[in-house]
Structure 1
Amino acid sequence: MLLGLSFALLSQPRLRLLAAARFVSVLGSAFGSIAVSFGVLALPGATPWDLSLVLACQAVPQLVFVLWGGVLGDRVPSRFRLVTVTETAAAAAACWAGLAALFATGGPIWLIAALAALGGATRALFSPALEGVVIDVVEDKDDRQRANALLKVSTNTARLLGMALAGVMVSLLGPALALAVDAASFAVCAVLFSVLGRRTPDRPVRYRSSALRDLREGWREFVAHEWLWVTTGQLAFVLAVVNAVAGLLGPMLAKEYLGGAWAWSLVMVAQVAGQVGGAGWAGRLRPARPMLLATVCTAGAALPALLLAVRAPLPVVLAGALVYGVMWDVTMVLWRTCLQHEVPEGAISRVSSIDLLGCLALAPAGLAVAGPLAAVFGPDVIMLGSAGLVVVAVGVALLSGDIRTLPGDGKPRQERAPAAASAA
Structure 2
Amino acid sequence: MTPRTTAGRPAWAGRNYTLLTTSAVITTLGSHGALVASAFAVLETGGSGADVGLVAAARTLPLVLFLLIGGALADRIPRHRVMVAANALNCVSQGVFAVLVLTGEARLWHMMLLSALGGTGQAFFSPAAEGMLLSTVTGEQANRAFALFRMSVNGAGIGGAALGGALTAAIGPGWVLAVESVAFALAGGLRAFLDVGHVPARAPGGGLLSDLREGWQEFSGRPWLWSIVLQFSVVVAVVGAAESVYGPLVAREHLGGAAPWGIALGAFGVGTIGGALLMMRWKPRRLLFTGTLCVFPLALPSAGLAVPLPVWALCLVMLVSGVAIEVFGVNWMTAMHQEIPEEKFSRVAAYDWFGSVSMVPLATALAGPVESAVGRSTALWGCAALVVLVTAAVLAVPDVRRLTRRPAPARTTAPGAASEAAPAAAVGAKA
TM-score interval, normalised by the smaller of the two chains: 0.7 to 0.9
- Equivalent residue number for residue 289 of structure 2: 292
* SS of residue matched to 2:281: coil
- Equivalent residue number for residue 395 of structure 1: 392
- Equivalent residue number for residue 422 of structure 1: none
Name the aligned partner's letter for residue 274 of structure 1: G
* SS of residue matched to 1:399: coil
- Equivalent residue number for residue 74 of structure 2: 73
* SS of residue matched to 2:268: helix
| Residue 343 (structure 2) pairs with residue 342 (structure 1) | no
- Equivalent residue number for residue 49 of structure 1: 50
| Residue 300 (structure 2) pairs with residue 311 (structure 1) | no
Name the aligned partner's letter for residue 84 of structure 1: V
Give the direction of change, closer, same or farther, for the CA distance of 1:281–1:180 in structure 2 (3 Å limit).
same
**Cα distance in 2 between the residues matched to 1:252 and 1:12:** 44
**Cα distance in 2 between the residues matched to 1:118 and 1:58:** 7
Name the aligned partner's letter for residue 86 of structure 2: T
* SS of residue matched to 1:89: helix
Query: 1:2-17 to 2 correspondence within 5 Å?
Result: 8-9=8-9, 15-17=17-19
- Equivalent residue number for residue 122 of structure 1: 121
Query: 1:176-187 to 2 correspondence within 5 Å?
Result: 176-187=174-185
Does structure 1 conserve the Cα–Cα contact (< 8 Å) formed by 2:140 and 2:408?
no
| Residue 267 (structure 2) pairs with residue 270 (structure 1) | yes
Does structure 1 conserve the Cα–Cα contact (< 8 Å) formed by 2:17 and 2:137?
no
Give the direction of change, closer, same or farther, for the CA distance of 1:407–1:311 in structure 2 (3 Å limit).
same
Name the aligned partner's letter for residue 365 of structure 2: A
Name the aligned partner's letter for residue 42 of structure 1: E
**Alpha-carbon distance, 1:205 to partner:** 4.1
**Cα distance in 2 between the residues matched to 1:408 and 1:55:** 37
Give the direction of change, closer, same or farther, for the CA distance of 1:395–1:149 in structure 2 (3 Å limit).
closer
Give the direction of change, closer, same or farther, for the CA distance of 1:177–1:214 in structure 2 (3 Å limit).
same
**Cα distance in 2 between the residues matched to 1:75 and 1:35:** 36
**Alpha-carbon distance, 1:287 to partner:** 3.5
Give the direction of change, closer, same or farther, for the CA distance of 1:20–1:400 in structure 2 (3 Å limit).
closer
| Residue 284 (structure 2) pairs with residue 282 (structure 1) | no
Q: Which moved more, 1:199-208 or 1:167-176?
A: 199-208
- Equivalent residue number for residue 352 of structure 1: 349
Give the direction of change, closer, same or farther, for the CA distance of 1:349–1:190 in structure 2 (3 Å limit).
closer
Query: 1:149-228 to 2 correspondence within 5 Å?
Result: 149-194=147-192, 196=193, 204-228=201-225
- Equivalent residue number for residue 367 of structure 2: 370
Name the aligned partner's letter for residue 122 of structure 1: G
- Equivalent residue number for residue 83 of structure 1: 83
- Equivalent residue number for residue 26 of structure 2: 24
Q: Which moved more, 1:255-264 or 1:22-31?
A: 22-31
Give the direction of change, closer, same or farther, for the CA distance of 1:102–1:278 in structure 2 (3 Å limit).
same
**Alpha-carbon distance, 1:201 to partner:** 5.9
**Alpha-carbon distance, 1:408 to partner:** 4.0
- Equivalent residue number for residue 419 of structure 1: none
**Alpha-carbon distance, 1:288 to partner:** 4.4
Render the CA deviation track for 1:358-402: whole Å, top value 9, x for unaligned: 111111111110122123433222111111111111122222233
| Structure holding more helix per residue | 1
Does structure 2 conserve the Cα–Cα contact (< 8 Å) formed by 1:70 and 1:350?
yes
Aligned length: 403
| Uncovered stretches (5+) of structure 1, i.e. residues with no partner | 413-424
Give the direction of change, closer, same or farther, for the CA distance of 1:408–1:130 in structure 2 (3 Å limit).
closer
**Alpha-carbon distance, 1:403 to partner:** 2.1
| Residue 114 (structure 2) pairs with residue 112 (structure 1) | no
**Cα distance in 2 between the residues matched to 1:281 and 1:151:** 13
**Cα distance in 1 between the residues matched to 2:386 and 2:137:** 43
**Cα distance in 2 between the residues matched to 1:139 and 1:226:** 25
**Cα distance in 2 between the residues matched to 1:70 and 1:202:** 19
Name the aligned partner's letter for residue 63 of structure 1: V
**Cα distance in 2 between the residues matched to 1:202 and 1:338:** 22
- Equivalent residue number for residue 417 of structure 1: none
Q: Which moved more, 1:32-41 or 1:102-111?
A: 102-111
Give the direction of change, closer, same or farther, for the CA distance of 1:293–1:18 in structure 2 (3 Å limit).
closer
Q: Which moved more, 1:401-410 or 1:111-120?
A: 401-410
TM-score, normalised to structure 2, is 0.86
Name the aligned partner's letter for residue 43 of structure 1: T
Give the direction of change, closer, same or farther, for the CA distance of 1:14–1:264 in structure 2 (3 Å limit).
same
Q: Which moved more, 1:320-329 or 1:342-351?
A: 342-351
**Cα distance in 1 between the residues matched to 2:19 and 2:292:** 35
Render the CA deviation track for 1:53-80: whole Å, top value 9, x for unaligned: 110010011111111111111211x333
Name the aligned partner's letter for residue 185 of structure 1: A
Render the CA deviation track for 1:118-141: whole Å, top value 9, x for unaligned: 1100011111111243477x5877
Does structure 2 conserve the Cα–Cα contact (< 8 Å) formed by 1:86 and 1:122?
yes
**Alpha-carbon distance, 1:158 to partner:** 1.6
* SS of residue matched to 2:149: helix
**Alpha-carbon distance, 1:331 to partner:** 1.1
Does structure 1 conserve the Cα–Cα contact (< 8 Å) formed by 2:134 and 2:345?
no
Highest relative contact order (Cα 8 Å, sep 6+), 1 or 2?
2
- Equivalent residue number for residue 421 of structure 1: none
**Cα distance in 1 between the residues matched to 2:22 and 2:406:** 35
